[in-house]
Amino acid sequence: MSAHSKQFQQRRARVRRALRKVASDRLRLSVHRSSKHIYAQLIDDTKGMTLVAASSLDRELKGNLPKGTDKAAAAVVGKLIAERAVKAGIREVVFDRGAYKFHGRVKALADAARDGGLSF
């Protein structure tokens, strides 16, 4: 394991450890960003299963987005995850940014999810 990936794993574990303290049985909105796309999913950690997911690769979004790597695409994915969560009856979540800084695409996704009806 390279030094960079080891630091990445440690940062992600540190964020998740802090989330467990404040989660109080809320679902976790986990974000993953790659160099080409962005993904979001609502995870129930007690059951260990994903309830709702959205990404820039979804069929309904893929044709409409010029690329999945910008803040506009992240905002659309955030709106979509919020819409699907509200439809499933989920309003309260805890935001898991992973090892990523809370700026750029991650922040755009979070703001769009808040505008869509999720509270965290």
Look at domain 3-115 and name its CATH class.
Answer: alpha beta
pTM across the whole model:
0.91
What are the boundaries of each domain within the chain?
3-115
Residue 100 backbone dihedrals phi, psi, to 5 degrees: -90, 150
**pLDDT tens string 54-93:** 999 999 887 888 888 899 999 999 999 999 999 999 999 9
| CB distance 112 to 83 below 8 Å | no
Residues making up the chain, counted from first to last: 120
Helix, strand, or coil here: 23? helix
**pLDDT tens string 89-113:** 999 999 999 999 999 999 999 999 9
Residue 116 token pair: 């869509």
Residues 6+ apart with CB under 8 A from 90: 27, 42, 51, 52, 118
CA–CA separation, 79 vs 24, rounded Å?
Answer: 24
